[in-house]
Structure 1
């Protein structure tokens, strides 16, 4: 595992709860690789816009997917991409110390519109593999017309920060003062809840081995 530091800049450095900042680039990779949805922020006509989108990391590049007609994915402009993995809800003895356990990443940089066909296909394959492993070989790749209607944006991971919280409620002083009301952590996880075969197929069509069923 890499131990290359993130070396955040002034604008990407964590300012609140600085003790929660993570310095290892491997932790950045782990958060980006686990989160299923990214949020892309940019300014459109002087107004902030944040849109959810799929993403995939290939080395030190983050790829984002959208429509070629989407103003949010023009490229060649400053953007901010955020992802969050929510690990648990922290039930504390006081409202003020109620919290959550999480891992989050913020990537800032100048978006680049990917135009090379080989890189576009590689990025789209990575996106499919990221969201549905095995589907990249099971499903049909995009046609030229579909590629023309698709936008892929690349953002280098040169300027990024990671922030995380874990552990119990931060109100030990309440216990010391004699407050013994229950407090703790409710763990959360994303899981498969079932698989439904497309109604256009015969009901007995087998589910491919790469599809998670629970």
Structure 2
């Protein structure tokens, strides 16, 4: 019986040794695979992905109300704007805004009516200097209910949201109306992917001299 215990002890030692060798071989294979040494590299936090433009569609049931300046030398016009939008004003400039969309109305004195050539030569370079990531300008002569008008379309980055800091890529339509020394520039802007063709047509077609 003592001889049997000795044999069992020897067998146990052999099993432990074999198991240890197998584990060591497995670890070596995992670190030296492909002839190299595996290392763990910390890359730190990944940058936030670029966000796609939110839709920014103006609702189909949006109501519109007439706006007419109540004071100043350029109060002789009216234009429809979406009801309920926040309004801000400074001098001859009035802006209506809701979420991602805006309407900017600017009135100036002008000795002559704007043309496709004058907008291309004067307005486009000015906006290129002032507007973030201004691109793709196209100038054309179009007709609205108020008569002939010069339309400038382009793309630009919006101002950063004051809360989130997010910037949206905007599509912009700028209409230049003119009568008897007065020019009114109507600028409509919203996200590039928004489907605001109909609301913007309502606004631009509603402009009328008084």
TM-score range, shorter chain: under 0.3
Structure of greater relative contact order (alpha carbons < 8 Å, 6+ residues apart): 1
Give the number of the structure whose residues are more often helix, by fraction. Answer: 2
* TM-score, normalised via structure 2 length: 0.24
